[in-house]
Amino acid sequence: MKLSNIALRNITRNSRRSMLSIVAIAVAAMSITLLFSFLAGMKNDLRYNLQTYYTGAIRVRNSEYNRYEQLHPMHLAVDNASQLAQQLASLSGVKGVSPRLQFPGMVFKGEEDYTLAGVGVDFDRESAYENLPDHLADGRIPREGSREALLGVGLAQKIGLSVGDTLTVLSTTRYRGSNAMTFTVSGLVNFPVGGMNDTCMLIPLSVAQYFLRMGDAVTEILLKTDPGADLDTVTRSVKETVTSASQGPLVAQNWTEIKTSYSFYEMANTTYMFIALFFFILGSTVIVNTTMMVIYERMKEIGTMAALGMTGGQLVRLFFTEALFLSLAGAFAGVVAGIAITLPLASVGINFSNSMQGVSMEISNVLYPRLNLRSTAFVFFYAVAVASLSSLIPSRRVSRINPVEALRSI
């Protein structure tokens, strides 16, 4: 009789015990499938948010700006920005270009004062770059050249403003002096990133440049690349363009070169792999326990098989095969359950708005788990490998069993 047949017969002989092992592996596999889907969704979200709102796929700045970023050094700018943006937009592999003028702002209202993160943007370019109209909660996009502002819904709520109201913003100019300007709120925007909703104000780029005495300068130009484009190749051509440009000392970095929370995420990913391993080891303890129980319960049978000529190695293989079948069934059931839960969540999303309040990470309030074929397959094989290999620990005892002693012990 083949070992696999004996293993199958043994599994079905005590279906309740086998089911317990399968369920343990399935729960572990399902949890890890969900965890990996959630992490993949988070990674995707973080990458989109970073490339759209923070770093672009590639970012061009004055080479000194990063060093003093906390001080808002408006004078460390990218000059002749419109010409450079035009040049960069014509490069192969560049999908979108967004020249931005970031500035700190203060609003004084009654007894209170509020800080905000202002951004001067070219709304025509920006609407394509970040699908701005999709995020409009009220009102409309500011008209180019007008003293109108688009406020994050949280910021507007904090200051007590709605569409049509005015606010006067005090900021720092390129000459490190100060200036204030009054804007009319033309619309409210609901950014996916909660932190931006509470701080962000968008105004037309030309108005921001006048307000902050910037001329044709911006603080950064963000670029998005075509989906199929090789990031390194596009980065190289952007660097060449930037170097040949006469706008002063500029630096182009792609988003992987910029220190962001993405690097923390990558670090966390490794940690999660270890967590997954522990999950499976935990699930495997049930298999180890079951195999040990089986060995003790089936001592007479093992003794008989050994007396009939089955070697220690064959006995180990038998128990390993049993564990392998249990792991395969458990891992399959777990992965299928994980997929079944992930798929609807991937379209509905999980809302973390309440728990994300006050968190300054570039993560969206609503996260959409993302099923990844590679990681799901990995979970399946990982679960099978860890669970079946763990059966080798108690099975080793079987290989050392003396048939005479085994038969006498019953």
Which residues are near another protein by CB under 8 A?
Answer: 68, 73, 75-76, 106, 108, 111, 113, 166, 168, 170, 172-173, 175-182, 211, 213
Nearer to another protein, 145 or 313 (CB): 145
Nearer to another protein, 174 or 370 (CB): 174
H helix and E strand count, the chain: 14, 12
Q: How far apart are CA 89 and CA 222, in angstroms?
A: 10
Nearer to another protein, 177 or 227 (CB): 177
Write down the least CB distance from residue 177 to another protein, Å. Answer: 5
Nearer to another protein, 106 or 407 (CB): 106
Strand partners, 253: 59
Nearer to another protein, 74 or 356 (CB): 74
CA distances for 326 relative to 20, 21, 295, 339, angstroms: 10, 7, 16, 20
**Cβ count near 341 (within 10 Å):** 15
Nearer to another protein, 71 or 393 (CB): 71
Write down the least CB distance from residue 334 to another protein, Å. Answer: 55
Write down the least CB distance from residue 112 to another protein, Å. Answer: 8
Nearer to another protein, 184 or 304 (CB): 184
Nearest to 55 by CA among 289, 274, 317, 231: 231
CB 152 within 8 A of CB 191: yes
Write down the least CB distance from residue 76 to another protein, Å. Answer: 8
Write down the least CB distance from residue 139 to another protein, Å. Answer: 20
Q: How far apart are CA 405 and CA 188, in angstroms?
A: 82
Backbone angles phi, psi at 78, to 5 degrees: -100, 110
CB 241 within 8 A of CB 91: yes
Write down the least CB distance from residue 105 to another protein, Å. Answer: 12
Q: How far apart are CA 296 and CA 169, in angstroms?
A: 79
Phi-psi domain of 217 (left: phi exceeds 0; alpha: psi -120 through 50; beta: other) = beta
Write down the least CB distance from residue 102 to another protein, Å. Answer: 17
